[in-house]
Amino acid sequence: MMALAAQAVCASAEAERRTVVWDTKALFEVPKVHATTERPAKGLRSFFYEGADNKGKPTWVFAYYAAPEGTAPAGGWPAVVCAHGGGGTAYPEWVRHWNQRGYAAIAMDLEGHLPGGDAHQVEGNFPVGEGHENAGPSRIDWFGDRDLPDQEQWFYHAVADVVRANSLLRAVKEINRQKIGLTGISWGGTIASTVAGIDPRFAFVIPVYGGGYIHESDNPGLAQWFPPKNMTEAQFHDYRTKWDPSAHLPHAKMPMLWVSSVADPVFQIDIFAKSARAAAGPSALCLRPWMIHGHGNGWQDAVEIGQFADQIVKDGPALPRLARPQMDDDTGLVTTRFLGKEDITEAWIYLTTSKGIWKSREWQFIQCTIGEKELVAQKRLPEGTTAFLVYVFKDVGGFRSNHAASELVLMDGGTPIPPEEREAPAEADAAPDKPMVFPNPATNPTIPAVGGVRWFWSTHARNYERRKAGNIDLCFLGDSITQGWPGDMFTGYYGKLNAVNFGCGGDKIQHLLMRLEGDDGELRGATPKVVVLMIGINNTGDNTAEEIAYGIKNMVKRIKKECPETKVLLLGLLPTRGNQNDKVKAVNALTAKFDDRESVRFLDMGAKFVGNDGKAIDALYRDEVHLSRKGYEVWHATMNPLLTEMMGR
């Protein structure tokens, strides 16, 4: 059961600003790897990699890794990082499970142990919970080490170990570094939920059972670790702002799938559903009734985990998607808009009239009639309903898949309680006026994503250092066409204007958005007079003209949010020597409407780059899309009058 959650939400008004205690720049570096003969597993590589430092010394993290048999696909294998839950370890079976789906995988021990026992294909029947010489901290109950410095606490190291696993996989030649996902079970789900807001390089994240808002749980087993029984006021503040995923999910912008059951005995449905709704990116709730809480069940039982991963990184079919249920004013019946009729066979309302502790509530069912795009309950909710959701699935010969659910709706006196009003986090994108639905979140140009070229981070770092140096009056933003300005020409034309070139080869709109993210954003704190923006040609293979224009509008708003006093000179996409020109013209026709004659001006230079036959002039290009020196001369000559006006010269 899966639900689309709001895409720009964060903590409630009274929540504090988060604190990031991890040095992500260091964690994004490739860790050292140490060979070992400890705990071998047939067909898998076992080794230690270095995690975060503890008391001035690098910790070593035990891990298993394997890739599928055979030749890797073009671009490399997709991959998954597997974060275990409480009492778990690095499980060979989990790695092999993903290998069988066509993914490379790494499973590591996050509690400073070597694998032990014989569960899930661990070999040798060694003692469970056995440490090693260079181990990091072990978990002590629920944040039982809260008196220690941040960098000595277990959760700090668990999150760092997962981020480092991503950095390691990204350096493996047989892996496609743009197609690495993360899944975590129970405690691992909580770790994964925090990592989602710390490491934007993951292509997708799938928490299973565990999530955030643990301090709001009514489960006595969880509530006992928080005030009034445990934690000082200062410790509770640290927990909410540093460790709980609720502090970081508003900064998680990759697609996420949240997998559990309605009656999970540890992480209750209310806080789990709230976690799904807190994520800033496309976030979906997937609930399978009676799903058992445990390792093995957490990767085997929910086939939707693999379906979702395939959807994001293999262009596989999308899971069904449900909107928030509504109460029909005339009939009193619950109605729910949805997509994916061909992928479901049944639809139900899952409801409770119980109150009190969530894990003890009893649940009832009402079947729904499946329309083309709407589900309609076959009878009204019973009096006294306190909460409900709508879910769908596909049943073929008793095998059920495609579980998808709406968000959880809380009730008060027979009336749905509106979802909490939430403010966008400081780094959140300014949303376009009318939301657009993207069937594949991976191609959504309004969600920041890491660029697919090896020089993305080094280019970003160089631009960031130049931004920190200050004295920027003119900034060029874009892809390789912008980056391709010959240095002598750029300096000759624009050097006296204190200009910088922040183009990056391979960038799509979403990749440029990523370069503007956070405190190391390339415009953060800068005050250029004018930003020259040309972006979108690399989106023409994935997106419609309307989607590209939508992404460009969002980009302009983002620039204006970072630099309110800056003017934006929006350049239309240039013609190409290929077959994209009909789409280029359509995009430019739409983006021309963004010109407000004041702070945003639009300029279509296309006519200067085509001949009388309507085709691109060969002399202005060095290949299908990139310009020659002559092409940059034409760019300058065409743009300069408007740029001069906007610069106030």
The catalytic site residues sit at 480, 623, 626
Decide: 450 and 460 in contact? Cβ < 8 Å: no
Sheet holding 567-571, edge to edge: 499-503, 474-478, 530-534, 567-571, 600-603
- DSSP secondary structure letter of residue 443: G
Residue 183: name the closest of 272, 98, 264 by CA.
98
Alpha carbon distances (Å) from 396 to 345, 391, 648: 9, 17, 68
Cis peptide before 486 (omega within 30 of 0): no
CA distance 95 to 82: 8
> Which residues fall within 8 angstroms of residue 398, CB to CB, at 6 or more apart?
none
- DSSP secondary structure letter of residue 485: S
Decide: 99 and 83 in contact? Cβ < 8 Å: no
Residue 203: name the closest of 114, 291, 81, 66 by CA.
81
Residue 565: name the closest of 600, 595, 606, 589 by CA.
600
CA distance 101 to 309: 10
CA distance 546 to 583: 10
Q: Going by DSSP bridges, is the β-strand pair 567-571/530-534 parallel, antiparallel, or unpaired?
A: parallel
Residue tagged 């309507």 (tokens): 614
Q: What tokens were used for 502?
A: 């922040």
Decide: 352 and 361 in contact? Cβ < 8 Å: yes
Q: Which three-class secondary structure state does DSSP give residue 42?
A: coil
